[in-house]
Structure 1
Amino acid sequence: MVRKRYDWEGGAQLDEHSKRKHKILHEYVLQYIVVRCKHPQQPRFRFAIVDGFAGAGRYAGDTAGSPLIFVDRVKAAAEEINLARAIEGLPNIDLECHLILNDSDPTAVSLLEQNIAPLLAEVRETSKNLRIETSFLNEPFENAYPKIKKILTSAKITNALFNLDQCGHSYVDRATLKDIIQTYQSEIFYTFSIQSFLAFLSRTNPDLLLSQLAFLGLPLRDIEQLNFSMSNERWLGTAERLVFDAFQVCAPFVSPFSIHNPDGWRYWLIHFAKSYRARQVYNNVLHDNSSSQAHFGRAGLNMLSYNARHTDGHLYLFDQAGRTTAVDQLREDVPRLLTGRGHAINVLDFYESIYNLTPAHSADILSSLVGHPDLKVTTKSGGERRKSSTIKVADTISLNPQRTFHQILRPIERR
């Protein structure tokens, strides 16, 4: 697939799927920084944001692109965190951000330097606890990546957030995604066109592609060209499985959710992370921006294990209706999980085992544990938790000795 060329000088149009994606980035970047600055005595937080396909920074109508969103959100985070610290009588924290901006289009990079300059000047003048250093690169991302690594190594930065908003599928190798996750305390936002992804699979694993999409009853050529209804919910569920299977080797936590479009699911925004906490925050942000992304399958645990021949798969839009379904399923799923785990599990181990396979909000997961006839959550000292908001990672979730109907249920079927 040939990469889409933007008319940056004439005013590039921002597509609807990109608007939804930018909304998620806008919310997540602030939360990413806030979560990483929780320790009350932490003097500073050093991190990098790498925008591998940065563009010119502004679209038609003066709409901000991702590089400008990043500067704005980092500035907002510094202000929010230090205001909260001042109220609590805590010392300020200094944020040091290295912003690495790359694009293969020289015109885009030149305009980006102009568009971002006023925001950086404002940061220097008004944000005494924030320092942003910028590096501009003008190469295809795979060529730029070794230079990006050198910049991070030279600056001794290990915390990195990568935004890889490619227009096709072939501009970032899976080996590079794995290297980013393995080398740094990193997270990745990775965007691609499902058409390019299917074309890639048709070359590398056509048998898998045809078997997964057999229900369409179409030849491989029609599948490659998307000659079928993209709004078919069963298509969404199958595509999610294909995406998850292809990318789960890249990181411990991979969210395979599509950018929501009722007219057809064509673009995917994947979040890669090394820790359950990052995925937990990401799930919560998706619920705060409901209908920005879409999932088809189960709402509780083992989200991709639904049986397409039955009716246990549903469209999940991270909205209130979806959350209600999630709580109902979680209250059945968690006892089943514990039945196969020796009837008890540490909360931290529970989080690490479930978050790669659930779209649920953290509050819904916690609420499913308290007041449940078959479950109890206990502290290290043996006290029982009565409120979900008080549950800690050192607590233990266990099955009650006198269980109800869950004791006869089998574990959730895995794919």
Structure 2
Amino acid sequence: MVEKSYAWKEGAELEEHSRRKHKIVRQYFARYLAVRCQLPQQSRFRIAIVDGFCGAGTYQCGAPGSPLIFIEELRLATEVFNVKRASEGMSPLDIECLLIFNDFDPDAVEILKGRVAPLIAATKETTPRLHLKVECFNTKFEAAYPSIKQLIERGGYRNVIFNLDQCGTSHVEHQTIVDICKSFTSAEIFYTFMITSLLAFLQKKDRARLSKQMRPFGLAEDGLADLDGVMNNKEWLGAAERIVFDAFNRCADYVSPFSINNPDGWRYWFIHFANNYRARQEYNNVLHDNATTQAHFGRSGLNMLAYDPSHDGALYLFDPPGREDAKQQLHEDIPRLVTNFGDAVPIGEFYSSIYNATPAHTDDVHAVMIDNPDLQIVTEQGGERRRSNTIRPTDILRVKRQRSFPIFFGSEQKRG
């Protein structure tokens, strides 16, 4: 499939898949700032944001692109946080952000500069607690990355977000994603690509393995051109998701391999990389707030890719019906997972073990832990949690002695 270039000078069209991505990025970034800036003792927060394929900032319809979305959310967050802090008698919070914009199209970069400059000037007047510094590059992302990395390291930024909204998969090397996640203490990446480009890459890298993965769809070894006929198949979505996860799961500790939902053909993938379960936890929650924006085919409890398509695979759209199905699976999955640790596990360790393998909302995980008759949550002081919204990472999740299921090697043990 030929990659599409945007005519930024004439005014680029905002396609539906991009609109959906922007909504997720905006809401997740707003939540990211709220979580990272919540400490009462905190007086400064520093972050670097890299938009590797930034475009010109706005689309033909007037909708903002990702560079302007980041600036808008930074301004809003700074204002809201400081109003709240002032009302509660807390010290003010300054946010310092290094914005790095890159695009191969020189027209896009020049137009963006013209649109960002007045926003920066207005920010200095209206939001003095927000300190923005902008650096622009006009080259291929891989050529710019060494200089971008050096800029971030020289500035001592530990919190880093990369938005890599590319066409195809040829513009960002696999090793670059790995390097980003390893180089910065708190790094997160939004990564967009077309599944056809990934499959073409994998076909060259490991033809035999890809052929085996594609065989259930009746495609020839070199039959990627025939994909249009199967891309709207739910089982195809599940297989593609496994291929995506297999290709990227070693890049970061937490990888969300979900497609942008398009029942007419699941072509675009939008992945979130992070090294902290808390980030994946929040990302799952944001997807549920934007039901049907992304899609998953498989299990909706734990071990989301461990399923038999002919028996228990299902389309999960992060919507209310999907959440109810997830709760039913979590009701059995959670106690069985706890038994893998023995009979008890710290909640924080439990989170770390599940969030690369579930699309579930945090509230649903918590609700099942409270409601399940086989489970008990114990506080550090030895008390028992009764409400899901009071659960803390330092609590202990344990299986009760009186339980309704066997735990030893599948044998039928008596209760007690």
TM-score (norm 2): 0.96
Q: Deviations over 1:236-291 (max 9, x none)?
A: 00000000010011000000000111111000000000100000110011011111
Residue 398 of structure 1 aligns to a residue in which SS? strand
**Count, aligned residues:** 410
8 Å contact 1:247–1:254 — kept in the other structure?
A: yes
What CA deviation, in whole Å up to 9, does each residue of 1:282-309 have, x standing for no partner? 0011011111111111111000001112
* 1:358 alignment partner in structure 2: 358
Given that 2:217 and 2:230 are in contact with CA atoms closer than 8 Å, whether structure 1 keeps it comes out as no
1:67-82 equivalences under 5 Å are 67-82=67-82
Alpha-carbon distance in 1 for matches of 2:173, 2:225: 20
Q: Deviations over 1:89-109 (max 9, x none)?
A: 211110001000000111110
> Corresponding residue for 1:250?
251
1:262 corresponds to 2:263: yes
2:123 maps to 123
Q: Is the 8 A contact 2:14 2:61 kept in 1?
A: no
1:125-182 per-residue CA deviation (whole Å, 9 max, x = no partner) reads 1002101110000010000001101111221112100000110111101110011001
Give the whole-Å Cα distance in 1 for the aligned partners of 2:69 and 2:97: 14
Give, in whole Å, the separation in 2 of the partners of 1:144 and 1:243.
26
Q: Which residue of 1 aligns with 2:327?
A: 327
- Is the contact between residue 228 and residue 265 of structure 2 (CA under 8 Å) also seen in structure 1? no
Partner of 2:152: 152
SS in 2 for 1:133: strand
| Alpha carbons 1:199, 1:224 under 8 Å: kept | no
Give the CA deviation at 1:405: 2.9
Residue of structure 2 in register with 1:57 after alignment: 57
Residue in structure 1 matched with residue 414 of structure 2 by the alignment: none
Match of 1:83, SS?
Answer: helix
CA RMSD of aligned residues (A): 1.4
Cα offset, 1:190, TM superposition = 0.3
Aligned AA (2:236): W
The secondary structure found in structure 2 opposite 1:198 is: helix
What is the distance in 2 between the residues matched to 1:407 and 1:251?
A: 32
Letter in structure 2 aligned against 1:46: R
Give the letter aligned to residue 155 of structure 1.
G
The separation in 2 between residues aligned to 1:359 and 1:110, in whole angstroms, is 40
Which residue in the other structure is 2:200 paired with?
199
Correspondence 1:97-136 to 2 at 5 A = 97-136=97-136
Provide the secondary structure at the position in 1 that maps to 2:269: strand
C-alpha spacing 1:11/1:410, structure 2 compared with 1 (3 Å): farther
Aligned equivalents of 2:28, 2:255: Cα separation in 1: 16
Partner of 1:280: 281
Per the TM alignment, residue 59 of structure 1 is displaced from its structure 2 partner at its CA by 1.0
Whole-angstrom distance in 2 between the partners of 1:122 and 1:321: 45
**SS of match in other structure, 1:39:** coil
* 8 Å Cα contact 1:48-1:159 kept in structure 2: yes
The answer to whether the 8 A contact 2:304-2:359 is kept is yes
One-letter identity of the residue aligned with 1:214: R
Which residue number corresponds to residue 397 of structure 1?
397
Task: Classify the secondary structure of the residue corresponding to 1:163.
Answer: strand
Q: Shift of the alpha carbon at 1:407?
A: 4.0
- Mapped to 1, the partners of 2:84 and 2:286 lie a distance apart of 21
In the alignment, the residues of structure 1 paired with residue 309 and residue 219 of structure 2 have an alpha-carbon distance, to the nearest angstrom, of 18
- Structure 1 partner of 2:41: 41
Deviation per CA, 1:55-84: give whole Å up to 9, x if none. Answer: 111111212111011110111111222222
Contact 1:56–1:112, Cα closer than 8 Å, also in 2: yes
Matches within 5 A, 1:136-215: 136-184=136-184, 185-215=186-216
Residues 307-333 of structure 1 show CA distances to partners (whole Å, capped at 9, x for unaligned) of 1121x1111111111111111111110
Distance 1:378 1:225, change over 3 A: same
2: CA distance between counterparts of 1:317 and 1:409? 34
SS at match of 2:342: coil
Q: Aligned AA for 1:9?
A: K
Instruction: Output aligned runs, 1:295-314, within 5 Å.
Output: 295-310=296-311, 312-314=312-314
CA offsets, 1:8-38, max 9 Å, x none? 1111111111110001011011111111112
Which whole-Å CA distance do the structure 1 matches of 2:321 and 2:251 have between them?
32
Q: State the secondary structure of the residue aligned to 2:371.
A: coil
Q: Partners of 1:252 and 1:211 in 2: how far apart? A: 27
**One-letter code of the match for 1:352?**
S
Cα offset for 1:409? 8.7
Matching residue of 1:8 = 8
Change in 2 beyond 3 A, CA 1:193/1:89: same
Which whole-Å deviations, capped at 9, do the CAs of 1:42-64 have from their partners, x for residues lacking one? 01000011000001111112121
2:293 is matched with 292
1:31 match: secondary structure? helix
1:179-213, Cα deviation, whole Å (9 max, x unpaired): 10011110000000001011111111122212112
Which one-letter code corresponds to 1:255 in the other structure?
S
Mean Cα displacement is larger for which, 176-185 or 82-91? 82-91
Secondary structure at 1:46 match in 2: strand
* SS at structure 2 position matched to 1:332: helix
Gaps of 5+ in 2: 412-416
